[in-house]
Structure 1
Amino acid sequence: MRPHPLSAALGLAFGLAAVPPALSAGPLVDPAARDHDRVVVTATRTERLILDVPNTVDVIDRGRMDELLVRDVADLFRYEPGITVTRGFGRFGIGDIRVRGLGGNRVRILTDGVPVSDAFSIGSFSSANRNFVDPDTLKRVEVVRGPTSSLYGSDALGGVVAFITKDPSDYLEDGRSSHLGLRLGAESDRDGFGASATGAFGGGRWSGLVNVGHRQGRETGNRGSDDSIGAARTRPNPQRSDGRSLLSRLVFAPTAGQRFRLTVEGNEDSADTDMLTSRGLQAMTGATNTLVLARDHQTRARVSFAHELDSPVAGFADALDWQVYRQDSETTQDTLEERITGAGAPERRERSFNFDQRSHGLQANALKQFSTGNAEHALTWGLDLQRTDTRQKRDGRVTDLLTGASSNAMLPDVFPVRDFPVSRTDTAALYAQDEIVLAGGAFRLVPALRLDRYELKPEADPIFTGDNPGVPLSGLTHTQASPKLGMVWRFQPDWSLFASYAHGFRAPPYNDVNIGFTNTMFGYTAIPNPDLRPETSRGFEAGIRHTGRALHASMTGYHNRYEDFIESMRFIGFNDEGLMVYQSQNVAEARIYGAELKAGVELGALLSPAWKGWSVQGAAAWSRGDDRTAHVPLDSIDPLTATLGIAYATGTWGAELIGRAADARSRVSSDTLFQAPGHAVLDLYAHWQLSPQLRLDAGIRNLADRKYWGAGNLPQALAGTSNTVDRYTAPGRSFALSLAVAF
């Protein structure tokens, strides 16, 4: 048996460190930049002020996470219109992150530069998500909206979400040699409790950090009122959840411009659910479920070794970083079902779903700065190699509770089965980007190109071939070029115009290329499609930004066209045996366009010193999306969404009132779908620095106890006539508290 991923991480927990940093941009960053000017990394792979990047970028730092009492990714993006975190009812909880209407595996999610594993789901008993991060291990999150394949390759159709974890240097400032921090937190909407501890040390050349966390809770509440047992239930199913995380790092800096980093990171979550909604008579089978219990468990572990060099390297680079990594993730979901069949026989059904993905890779990035005439260049190029092994399996057994006889035949399946063969994917990529600075720094031209080679190698193991006799397996090799051209014009020191045109792509997924099963009893079969083409996008966006002493603001408009979207399991006709044939195919084209606004005002700097400490900030996102094949709206597009907050802060305490609002969900693909009404919700936060070592944060969410449906909570196919729409309501008024101690 292979070792448990988290066990491997815990076994290496002492002596660990960070991952690929951004290449230093040196003099191309304005040395006179004010402290409140944001510096971002993900947009160009170099440290740049937001004013100087040709993309729309969101940044959430550690301080903001603490103020908003962030406990999961849903909290993290609560006040970011245009970014939606989905949440399922009943069992599986947080799902994916949607950026500008695209989610799932069409958004690249990175942790310290390492891609997070894929999402995969099939049926009602199996759903592997990508929720593998503990926000308490993060120091910053950056989101690049729109196609970003020119730097990050496949799966970056919708954008990139980059999680950047803590580093020893974040705690060892002003000559400190050690740090110890403890944090306790609680929230009422799920009776949750969390605790974490962070220790850091540093000397002349060595520094290190260890962060451990634990969290537990119950089901997240909603405004459903039906507490019955069965399909009519709208209250959440009873659930107990438990999780833990580890981040440990060791940093060795032999010189001022050189660092070696070793990191071991792990995350583990479990949930036990009493599926009350699944009890009672089942219309499709005629059986009556008397008990349905679920246990879900997921882990992710990463080990990486990185080297950063800020000084010139043999004349071909002014800065260089590289890292090697290994990452294992696994989702296991077990379901126990006891029922009375339509014939009156009692039986027990046990199902188990497993999705296992293990990857290792090498990344290298170099920066060379030079001049040609009146132009300054920051030429960045790099290499990205990754091998990923993916396996999925469903198993099960049915037991007659009268005779004790058991069988692995649980129609329509004879277990174990795989819905796609064990698959190995190899990717190799080269990228290059030149940031050309003209007119004394007022104008930047940023061309970029990435070449990706993708190779899929399926394995005909006994489980897949036994369930799919005679079904051929198809390998796949594809090479894709992803160009981009960006422009930034600083027409005033604190103002910039930007525009970009970019191509994005997503390689055909292993489960679509080789999806395969045959069920003669129900008269259908699925066949592979070795001719699938990559999903592609062409995107344009333009905007204006301002960062001043009193005001910062940005406004962006974008238009993205997507082609060759893959429709899984599409009916294509009948075969010679009379079976219905299904195959994944490139069929869909889509268009998504919209506008986004974000602004903040320091009232003391704008009006008078009497308003010192007061600030206002807000954001809004409007978008439209159309399926240009079916000629209907895209249901993944959120309605107009906005946030507005007013805050007051002194050196020791502060408070903030934030409003969240969304328009009605009136633009859907069918008039039969549920159209959620618009809503407006108020949240209140406060923090107190009780002493240099002690901080208290508190929050009240949904202050007025409003009943509403958040876009991420709604299934896209929810019928308007459903009598269980209250299942998908957000929690009512809830409270959150955090106490942090630092030494």
Structure 2
Amino acid sequence: MRLHPLSLALCLALPNAVLAAEAPEAPEAGASEATEFNRVVVSATRTERVIADVPNTVDVIDRVRMDETLTRDLKDLFRYEPGISVTSNFGRFGLGDIRIRGLSGNRVRIQTDGIPVSDAFSIGSFSSANRNFVDLDTLKRVEVVRGPTSSLYGSDALGGVVSFVTKDPSDYLKDGKDAYFGLKFGYESDWSGLSAGATAAFGGERWSGMVAVNHRQGKETENMGTVGGEGSQRTQNDPQDRDGRSVLSKLVYAPSDTQRFKLTVEGNEDSVDTDLLSMRGLQALTGANNLLVTGNDHQARARVALAHEMGEVGAGFADSLDWQIYRQDSETTQDTVEVRRTSRGVNERREREFNFDQRLYGIQANFHKDFDTGGARHTLSYGLDVSRTETRQKRDGRVYNLDTGRVTNAMLPDVFPVRDFPISKTTTAAVYVQDEISLADDKFRLIPAVRVDRYELNPQSDAIFREDNPGVAISDLTKTSVSPKLGAVWHFADKWSLFGGYSRGFRSPPYNDVNIGFTNLQFGYTAIANPDLKPETSNGLEAGVRFVGDAVHVSVSTYYNKYKDFIESFRFIGFNAEGLQVFQSQNIADARIYGAEVKAGVDLGTLSERMQGWSLHGAAAYARGDDRTADEPLASIDPFTATLGVAYDSNVWGAELAGRFVARKDRLPSATTPGVPYRETPGYGVLDLMAHWNFAPGAKLNAGVFNLADRKYFDAGDMPLVSASSVIVDRYTSPGRNLAVSLALEW
């Protein structure tokens, strides 16, 4: 199936229908919750602006929407957001990267309350540190800015910014309340998941605070694979036991109505035990017979931050300001145990340990000033962002000979312990300035911005790195990047506006690419540092049109992004004087990604009294990307994707039928084996049914049935590049029909 016929018809019909509909006069900003583009966002300009007044494509998912769609993880969060996807891996490591317009991993900035989440890093089959460090139940809002955003957020914002905003005491203490208590329970059948959470908040004239604790546990996520048992032919997911918990606490002191101090302490951890049945049996590469393979993975993040906001500064340099200082520790630890019989008939037990640790310290400050010049009104925003990160990574292991009792740390090609890059300290210092210029009674807004980033890498060669890499030199690195941006919004007619502009993005050379660390004399290879690595850069153009009314909202946008100097890790560059193969990270790849996106909705009750409570909403995304260096399609580009939902909502209950429609993914790079192409990902259409019921004061039940027709399908981001003749592709299928339910109580 190349494209579900219903999805094509709906995507073509919906924008035309809403454009033709007659709607009442557009409300003032924020007056109608039914109008998507009247939502207030901060991430797009670092100031509070409704989406209709920002020159970017921005998505907002609030707490109500997360609850109604029974959002548990990142894949659920972006289920109905075409153009944004979340990859996942078969078996052990689960969810992977957030992908925006074809870019993912550390090329997308992910932040919580303005503080960047730890990097992702993986090497080999037993080590994968991801960025899933946020408990979504602690959030009140998620904002996504699509496209290059380095002019405001610096490095790693090549693909865009995902901004998580956590809850505050004021979110619970409304309508004069001085205390709040809530409980929430949930169940999801696709992973036999159980969750429970409790929140308490208090408040007075000056002091307020809150504590939210959550716990979750379950099994492996189901797929539609039918082959069980042991060995490489297994397509069912490997058995898992999963367990996690989080705590979010905040203490707020407001010395006046215009300022407040906020102390935040947050912690989150997850543990997964996996019985890797798919890795048992005869191993083709080594000839060993694996009798047992298990994995224990643990990740944790802790954050403490002190913030200050002041609304009426009354000074010439600013009308308002905010700043925060913070520390964040993130750590991933992964242990693997193999019991096997080698090709030589030796019984042995192999233990591997992987650790990836980041400690981040920083300070951020933002200032805002309003002033007039002639017929123009200005909102000047400027600030600084300084941070220091220490990154440590280590792999360790040992081999136990079960026949003789001998123990060794040599597990070829490694002699443990090893570091794949030296201990790295990175310092970033940045200043930015942005001016929002309003002209012609706010009908035209011009938004120039520029940010200057200074990046310094200082590696440290300790005994572990030196022993594993004798004679390998490491390099410092210092780079300065300038990221300009120019955006504009023109309200050229009542309810209509044009938006767009130019933006530049960059990503500093990563520590693990600058100083690759491995030398293996037995296998004849080594790696060398590259102090001449240049930042990865992008130049992006975006243009679109919006229609915003009481009943109807539509946004149609196009974009073109050109990327330069992508870094290829471990690139073979020749032989050295000792005859060793030499590898080095280098800037070689250029790419371009372009596409179009549509988002629209209709409040049918505003158009007709008989349709009170009914609404339609839909979105679609088309993208095309090419590796211009290799003259190949980019495998990371998602196929055409569309969603459509019809919903009914009243004060007591509501329901929504939502469809997800995806075309066949048929643009793939050339396969490494001539004549054997990669497998294309089939298209699909899936329906979900969700409902909520406020059955008593302070009591709400949410329920959903997903993949109603029990359809077998593959998310495009889940299918790796596998041969078209592969017989194990069912291991990459999504869950069949599954149920989720949650109960929330508050008083």
- Same fold, TM-score > 0.5, yes or no: yes
SS in 2 for 1:708: coil
Partner of 2:31: 34
Cα distance in structure 1, aligned partners of 2:740 and 2:464: 48
Distance (whole Å) between structure 1 residues aligned to residue 437 and residue 684 of structure 2: 46
CA contact (8 A) 2:85 2:100 kept: yes
* Cα shift at 1:313: 4.2
> SS at the partner of 1:695?
strand
Match runs of 1:393-408 below 5 Å? 393-408=394-409
- Separation in 2 of the partners of 1:299 and 1:495? 47
Residue identity opposite 1:192 in structure 2? G
Q: 1:12: which partner in 2?
A: none
Partner deviation per Cα, 1:704-739 (whole Å, 9 max, x = no partner): 000000012112x22222111000000000000000
AA partner of residue 110 (structure 1): Q
Q: Distance in 1 between matches of 2:382 and 2:348?
A: 61
**Paired residues of 1:705 and 1:733 also in contact (CA < 8 A):** yes
Question: Does residue 1:649 correspond to 2:649, yes or no?
Answer: yes
Cα contact 1:350–1:398 (8 A) shared by 2: yes
Is 1:611 aligned to residue 611 of structure 2? Answer: yes
Q: Which residue of 1 aligns with 2:741?
A: 737
Q: What RMSD over aligned residues (CA atoms) do the two structures have, in Å?
A: 0.9
- DSSP-derived class of the 2:513 partner: helix
SS in 1 for 2:237: coil
The superposition leaves residues 287-322 of structure 1 with CA deviations (integer Å, 9 ceiling, x where unpaired) of 100000100000001000000000024321000100
The 2-side partners of 1:151 and 1:495 are apart by 27
Residue 186 of structure 1 is matched in structure 2 by 187
- Once the two structures are aligned, what percentage of the paired residues are identical? 66
Match of 1:78 in 2: 79
User: After the TM superposition, which residues 334-345 of structure 1 pair with which residues of structure 2 at under 5 Å, given as runs?
Assistant: 334-345=335-346
Structure 1 distance, partners of 2:216, 2:324, is: 31
Corresponding residue number in structure 2 for 1:420: 421
The total of aligned residue pairs comes to 712
**Conservation of the 8 A alpha-carbon contact between 2:30 and 2:39:** no
Asked if 1:528 is matched to 2:533, the reply is no
- Look up the SS of the partner of 2:96 in the other structure: strand
Corresponding residue number in structure 2 for 1:8 = none
1:666 and 2:666 aligned: yes
Specify the alignment match of 1:151 in structure 2. Answer: 152
* Structure 1 stretch displaced more, 518-527 or 251-260: 518-527
Match of 1:125 in 2: 126
**Cα offset for 1:499?**
1.0
Q: How far does the alpha carbon of each residue in 1:513-557 deviate from its partner, in whole angstroms, 9 at most, with x for none?
A: 000211121121111111000000000001111221110111110
Counterpart residue type for residue 564 of structure 2: E
Give the Cα separation in 2 of the matches to 1:394 and 1:460.
16
1:584-626 per-residue CA deviation (whole Å, 9 max, x = no partner) reads 00000000000000001011112x1001111010000000000
Name the amino acid aligned to 1:638. Answer: D
Partner of 2:697: 692
- 3-state SS in 2 of match to 1:441: coil
Q: How many Å separate the matches in 2 of 1:298 and 1:33?
A: 39
The aligned residue for residue 255 of structure 2 is 254
Inter-CA distance 453–198: structure 2 relative to 1 (3 Å threshold): same
Give the partner amino acid of 1:35. Answer: S
State the partner residue of 1:484. 485
Secondary structure of residue in 2 paired with 1:42: coil
Which residue of 2 is the match for residue 721 of structure 1?
Answer: 725
8 Å CA contact 2:636, 2:717 repeated in 1: no
Gapped runs of 5+ residues in structure 1? 1-29
Deviations 1:183-223 (A, max 9, x none): 00001000000001111111001111110000001000001
Residue 588 (str. 1) matches residue 589 (str. 2): yes
Cα pair 2:32 2:550 within 8 Å, conserved? no
Other-structure match for 1:367? 368
Amino acid at match of 1:711: A
The secondary structure found in structure 1 opposite 2:516 is coil
Are the equivalent residues in 1 in contact too, given 2:554–2:599 (CA < 8 A)? yes
Pair 1:458 & 2:459 matched: yes
Larger mean CA deviation between 572-581 and 474-483 belongs to 572-581
Secondary structure of 1:220 counterpart: coil
Aligned amino acid, residue 728 of structure 1? Y
Counterpart residue identity of residue 657, structure 2? L
* Structure 1 equivalent of residue 509 of structure 2: 508
What SS class does the counterpart of residue 189 from structure 1 fall into?
A: helix
TM-score normalised per structure 1: 0.95
* Secondary structure of 1:726's aligned partner: helix
Equivalent AA in structure 2 for residue 237 of structure 1:
D
Q: Contact conserved, 2:659 with 2:686, CA < 8 A, in 1?
A: yes
CA contact (8 A) 1:53 1:488 kept: yes
**Secondary structure of 1:440's partner?**
coil
CA distance in structure 1 between the partners assigned to 2:153 and 2:241 by the alignment:
37
The residue identity in structure 2 corresponding to 1:360 is Y
Take 2:241 and 2:724, find their aligned partners in 1: how far apart are those partners? 31
Alignment-mate amino acid for residue 405 of structure 1:
R
CA contact 2:29–2:50 (8 Å) conserved in 1: no
Separation in structure 2 between the aligned mates of residue 360 and residue 441 of structure 1, nearest angstrom: 40
SS of residue matched to 1:169: helix
Conservation of the 8 A alpha-carbon contact between 1:51 and 1:495: no
Letter in 2 for 1:742: E
Which runs of structure 1 show a deviation greater than 4 angstroms over 4 or more consecutive aligned residues?
A: 30-33
Q: Distance in 2 between matches of 1:335 and 1:493?
A: 62
Alpha-carbon distance between aligned partners in 1 of 2:208 and 2:28, rounded to the nearest angstrom = 28
Name the TM-score, length of structure 2 as normaliser.
0.95
- 2:485, 2:502 within 8 Å by CA — same for their partners in 1? yes
Unaligned runs of 5+ in 2: 1-26, 672-676
Report if aligned partners of 2:547, 2:554 keep a CA contact under 8 Å in 1: yes
Q: Deviations over 1:60-95 (max 9, x none)?
A: 000000000001111000110000101111100011
In the TM superposition, residue 493 of structure 1 has moved relative to its aligned partner by 4.0
Post-superposition offset of 1:427 = 0.2
Q: CA deviation at 1:495?
A: 2.0
Q: Is the 8 A contact 1:313 1:320 kept in 2?
A: no
Aligned partner letter, 2:732: Y
Residue number in structure 2 paired with 1:97: 98
1:721 maps to a residue whose letter is S
In 2, the alpha carbon distance for the partners of 1:60 and 1:545 equals: 19
Residue number in structure 2 paired with 1:18 = none
Task: Supply the AA of the counterpart residue of 1:341.
Answer: T
Alignment map for 1:194-593 (pairs within 5 Å): 194-593=195-594
Residues in 2 aligned to 1:244 and 1:274: alpha-carbon distance in whole angstroms: 22
| Alpha-carbon distance, 1:628 to partner | 0.2
Q: Which residue type is aligned with residue 620 of structure 1?
A: A
Q: Which amino acid aligns with 2:726?
A: S
